[in-house]
Amino acid sequence: MPRACELTGTSSQSGHNVSHSNRKTNRRFNANLQRVTLHSDALKREVPLRVTTRALRTVTKHGGLDSFLLKQRDEKLPPLARRLKHRVQKALSGGGKKKSA
């Protein structure tokens, strides 16, 4: 399982530990990932995700998972979030079902 946020795509970064003598040794800056279950009103179900705490705060700021996904451009979302966004859009537009008269 990759260490990346499923909503924003944020992943690990690399850098250096710098000692007092200015020696540089490699290190990794891992993303602060948490397992959360977010509710989708459009899909009427809970969605388990692995997201960064920063993304979780952004979702809360936007007012929930559905509104966060709908406000983001497709190019900025990782593949899983993009599929989730399209499912939310389909559910909000009526689901593509024809109504019988």
* Domain-embedded: residue 98: no
Q: What is the pLDDT of residues 10-30, one digit of tens each?
A: 999 999 999 999 999 999 999
* Domain-embedded: residue 8: no
pLDDT for 100 beyond 70? no
Which structural domain range is residue 83 located in?
Answer: 13-18+25-92
Full-prediction pTM beyond 0.85? no
For residues 16 and 97, the model is more confident at: 16
CA distances from 98 to 25, 48, 73, 90, 92 (A): 62, 30, 28, 13, 14
User: What integer best gives the mean pLDDT of the chain?
Assistant: 93
Give pLDDT, residue 98.
58
* Domain-embedded: residue 3: no
Give pLDDT, residue 21.
98
Residue with tokens 């692995």: 50
Give pLDDT, residue 94.
84
* Domain-embedded: residue 1: no
Give pLDDT, residue 2.
84
Q: How many helices (H) and strands (E) does the chain have?
A: 3, 4
* Domain-embedded: residue 100: no
Percent pLDDT > 90 in the chain is 90
DSSP 9-53: --B-EEEEEE-TT--EEEEEE---EEEEEEEETTTTEEEEEEEEH
* Domain-embedded: residue 40: yes
Q: Please give the tally of structural domains in the chain.
A: 1
* Domain-embedded: residue 4: no
